[in-house]
Amino acid sequence: MRIAVCAKQVPDPDIPPSQFKLDSSGLAVEPPRNATPVVNGFDLNAIEAAVRIKESLAGDAEITIFSSGHAFELAVMKKTLATGADNLVLVDDPETANLDAAGTARVLAAAVEKHGPFDLVICGRQASDWDQAHVPLFIAESLGLPCVTVARNIITDSETATVERVLTDGYQEVKVTLPALITVSNELGEPRYPALKGIMAANRKQPVKHTIAELALTAADLAPKLELLGLEIPKRSGKAEFIDGEDDAEKGHNLALRLRQERLI
């Protein structure tokens, strides 16, 4: 089985909100100095899903990671290879530095097609930078693949995948004919830690790199449909009223009294 997984390099979403800053243009985020980007968390879940399928086939699967962007931290992107993925394909082009979702989907679909055919394309449900969640659906539409989103479990045979899709109050079980695209969510379970052997093997591998011209795309193909006017950091309510006490137990006691006074409980 050939599996494609899409992964994105993003600023670390766990930086404290107080360190979150915009650059002088007001159109982009300025990561804190020395902050290392990370692989989008849901994409790590997607890689985990692919590795589990590979395990269920006793290793008889090839996993290729695809990413679109610019100024990649190679050490960060190579981490995607450390838990069992085989190949890394980077579309690295100045034109792919700031694409909207439609442009990103077009680039990834072209790259997947170039290295295809694949039985399965797996993506994280959304990226922690722009929270768009529709790149995978656009890829599925442009490749003409059936698509199931927000999976918490995937079971494959040679022709189908049976997927548990998370709903707001429960789940759906959907059977989809391969080839198909599936997005996965954190409910699938935490990605495994790479073994030292895997990290060393990943370090030795070199990514395949493409420009958009090699994918037969032009900058005009990737023009955004939405014009970003600006970013703004929302104001927070301010400082909390701290409840005091001799010790922590008394603080708990006083908190209950204060909330009762405010008629909140």
Q: Which of residues 86-115 bind other proteins (CB under 8 A)?
A: 101-102
CB 132 within 8 A of CB 98: no
Identified binder of other proteins from the candidate list 60, 159, 241, 246, rule CB under 8 A: 241
C-beta closer to other proteins: residue 60 or 241: 241
Copy the structure tokens of residue 50.
């692919």
Identified binder of other proteins from the candidate list 70, 114, 171, 199, rule CB under 8 A: 171
- Neighbour tally for 226: CB within 10 Å: 8
C-beta closer to other proteins: residue 19 or 203: 19
Residue 211 binds other proteins, judged by CB under 8 A? no
Question: What residues from 53 to 82 belong to the interface with other proteins (CB under 8 A)?
Answer: none
Distance between CA atoms of residues 106 and 64, nearest Å: 18
Distance between CA atoms of residues 196 and 83, nearest Å: 10
Identified binder of other proteins from the candidate list 125, 143, 154, 217, rule CB under 8 A: 125
AA letter at 161: A
Identified binder of other proteins from the candidate list 65, 77, 154, 166, rule CB under 8 A: 166
Identified binder of other proteins from the candidate list 158, 193, 220, 232, rule CB under 8 A: 232
| Cα–Cα nearest to 83, from 166, 5, 181 | 5
Distance between CA atoms of residues 155 and 18, nearest Å: 42
Distance between CA atoms of residues 253 and 245, nearest Å: 9
Query: What DSSP string describes 138-172?
Result: HHHHHHT--EEEEEEEEEE-SSEEEEEEEETTEEE
Residue 148 binds other proteins, judged by CB under 8 A? yes
Identified binder of other proteins from the candidate list 149, 151, 184, 202, rule CB under 8 A: 149
Identified binder of other proteins from the candidate list 60, 159, 246, 262, rule CB under 8 A: 262
The CA dihedral of 191, 194, 198, 201, to the nearest 10 degrees, is: 90
Using the contact rule CB under 8 A, the part of the chain among 59-67, 112-120, 195-203, 257-265 near other proteins is 257-265
Question: What residues from 4 to 43 belong to the interface with other proteins (CB under 8 A)?
Answer: 11, 13-14, 16-18, 20, 22, 29
Identified binder of other proteins from the candidate list 172, 203, 211, 218, rule CB under 8 A: 172
Residue 159 binds other proteins, judged by CB under 8 A? no
Identified binder of other proteins from the candidate list 131, 158, 197, 206, rule CB under 8 A: 131
Residues near 68 by Cβ (< 8 Å), separated by ≥ 6?
8, 90, 91, 96, 99, 104, 107, 108, 111
Helix-helix angle 101-115:135-143, to 10 degrees: 50
Residue 246 binds other proteins, judged by CB under 8 A? no
Residue 225 binds other proteins, judged by CB under 8 A? yes
| CB 206, min distance to other proteins, A | 31
